[in-house]
Structure 1
Amino acid sequence: MLKVAWSSLYAHPLPEGHRFPMEKYELLPEQLRYEGTLSEANFFKPHKADERWVKAVHDHHYLEKLKNQRLSPSEIRRTGFPLSKALVERELHIMQGSVMAADFALEYGIAMNSAGGTHHAFADRGEGFCLLNDIAIAAHYLMEDRGLKRVLVVDLDVHQGNGTASLFADIPEVFTFSMHGEHNYPMHKEKSDLDIPLKDHTDDKTYLDILGRQLPVLMNQVAPQFLIYQSGVDVLASDKLGRLGLTLGGCRERDRMVLETAKKNRVPIMCCMGGGYSERINDIIEAHANTYRLAQELFF
């Protein structure tokens, strides 16, 4: 059974006019239920993350400042969010959603977090709508608690997974792969184990040809025991922050490639949501929903 992390905390409201589209966290589960892709049995509600796993990734001083609302104005601006206790609670539940989804993926082959993908969070700071890094926390959990020796991160958000790259720069057990817009945020890129920068307006064919060549090589060279997939849909041509040129069909084919690669190689995969900022909320929901539809089609 496909298990999906979701909590009402994921849809924590932000001040009106804020550009981060919180409504997708409410609308996506509704759409998936309405069309019959998922039922209530598919969803699980994460509790707040165990600090043990958060502290395995993040600086203790930063965590204390975050929990006690003592970030400086410049640190808050860097996150892109107006800081609040409710927002920190939301983030801690998202972290646990990815940890629990990783466990379910070990059991069922695949599982999803309908939030997460917070790949811009560093050990000692938040950036780009990310306060804590669920990808890194889930990977550490898999290695330290579940005894895995090799984790592959496939980050296909339009923005480089700079926080994740930094966190695993000296940890060879985790291989970080980021395929992202060359001229997009962050302007200063960290060094992933494999970075593929893409030109503005890269189209479906170019994108899929590159990804199709890389995935088999990664599976052979890395030989992962687990795959964490950051499935941001800000690669769409319609995305306000994206600058690439993919169609909805191209984005769906991207997801199919990654999920089929995991299934074919019998590698458990945990998918987390990532970004999506198209003008029409319908485009965001449709692109994200395709990931879940494919998971059901390919794995169950």
Structure 2
Amino acid sequence: MLKIAFDPIYAHPLPPGHRFPMLKYELIPGQLMHEGIITQANLFSPKAANEKTILLTHDKGYWQQLRDLTLPPKEQRRIGFPLSAQLIEREVRIAQGTIDGCHYAFKYGVAFNVAGGTHHAGTNWGEGFCMLNDQAIAANYLLNNKLATRILIVDLDVHQGNGTAQIFENEPRVFTFSMHGDKNFPFRKERSDLDIPLNDGIEDEAYLKLLYDTLPGLIDCHKPDFIFYLAGVDVLDSDKLGKLALSKEACKERDRFVFEQCKARGIPVQVSMGGGYSPQIKDIVEAHCNTYRVANDLYF
């Protein structure tokens, strides 16, 4: 069964200027239900991640400032919006949704979090609308509980997973792979285990060739027993922030290729959705829904 973490809190606790891109969190499951790909039984609502689990990844002082809403204004500006109790509740539920998704991935091969992909959050900082790094938290949870021994994080969002890279810079059990716009945010990059910086305007064939030439060998070399996939759709040519030029068809093929590599090797994969900032919400939702459609076709 395709299991998807979703909670209404994902969609609404943001300031007015940020509400448009958050609409996708309600529209994606709605569209998938409309098509008959999922029913309510496919969705699960996560609880809040506990403090012990969060502190496997994030600095205690930083977490306490988030929890108590005492993060300095400068650090809040770096994140991109002011703190609120509801916003922090959203973050800890997203983190738990990714952890829960790992358990479902072990059972079904693949599982999703409608939100997540908060890869700009580092050990003791947040930025780029990210406060707690959901896939990093889940990866450390798996390692700490001996549910995985080697992990690969495949980050294909248009922005480098700088927080993820920093968190795992000294952790050999986790290999971080980020394929991202070279001249895009964050402008101060961290060092992933493998970074592939992309030129502005890269198109379908060149992008996919890089992925085809890289991912299979990377998996076979690192030999992960769990994979995290960050499936941002801000790589689209319609995206107002992405600067790349991928069609929806190429984005869908990207997803198919990632899932095929995981499934062929019997490696469970948890998927967080990442960014998408096309002016038309229908383009964002369609590209994200393609990720679910491909997974449903391959696994179920």
Name the CA distance, whole Å, in 1 between partners of 2:112 and 2:207: 24
Q: How do 1:101-112 residues align onto structure 2 when only pairs under 5 Å count? A: 101-112=101-112
Match of 2:116? 116
CA contact (8 A) 1:46 1:94 kept: yes
Partner residue of 1:16? 16
Residue of structure 2 in register with 1:255 after alignment = 255
SS in 2 for 1:21: helix
Q: Secondary structure at the match of 2:22?
A: coil
Shift of 1:216: 1.1
Q: Confirm or deny that 1:82 pairs with 2:82.
A: yes
In the other structure, the counterpart of 2:215 is 215
Gaps of 5+ in 2: none
After superposition, where does 1:172-251 map in structure 2 within 5 Å?
172-251=172-251
Q: How much identity, in percent, do the aligned residues show? A: 55
1:26, CA displacement in angstroms? 1.0
Instruction: Provide the C-alpha distance between the structure 2 equivalents of 1:127 and 1:200, rounded to a whole number of angstroms.
Output: 23
Q: 1:102-150: CA deviations, max 9, x gaps?
A: 0110111110011101000011111101000011111011111143110
Aligned length: 300
Tell me the distance in 2 between the aligned counterparts of 1:170 and 1:282: 40
Contact 2:13 2:86 in 1 (8 A): no
SS of residue paired to 1:18:
helix
Partner of 2:155: 155
Q: Distance in 2 between matches of 1:228 and 1:275?
A: 16
Shift of 1:83: 1.4
Q: What CA RMSD, in Å, does the superposition of the two structures yield over aligned residues?
A: 0.9
Please report the TM-score for the alignment, with normalisation by the length of structure 1. 0.98
Residue 298, structure 1, aligned to residue 260, structure 2: no
* Cα separation, 2, equivalents of 1:205 and 1:241: 21
Deviations 1:38-63 (A, max 9, x none): 11111111000021110000011011
Residue 48 of structure 1 aligns with an amino acid whose one-letter code is: A
Measured after TM superposition, the shift of residue 18 of structure 1 is 2.9
Aligned to 1:167: 167
What letter matches 2:172 in structure 1? P
Task: State the Cα distance separating 1:19 from its structure 2 match.
Answer: 6.8
Determine the C-alpha separation between the residues in 2 that align with 1:248 and 1:146.
38
Normalised by the length of structure 2, the TM-score is 0.98
Task: Identify the range of structure 1 (66-75 vs 170-179) with the bigger mean alpha-carbon deviation.
Answer: 66-75
- How far is the alpha carbon of 1:82 from its aligned partner? 2.3
The residue correspondences of 1:247-286 to structure 2 (distance < 5 A) are 247-286=247-286
Number of the residue aligned with 1:3: 3
Residue pair 1:158, 1:234 contacting (<8 A) in 2 also: yes
| Unmatched runs of 5 consecutive residues or more in structure 1 | none
In the alignment, the residues of structure 2 paired with residue 17 and residue 175 of structure 1 have an alpha-carbon distance, to the nearest angstrom, of 35
Q: 1:26 to 1:19 in 2, by over 3 A?
A: closer
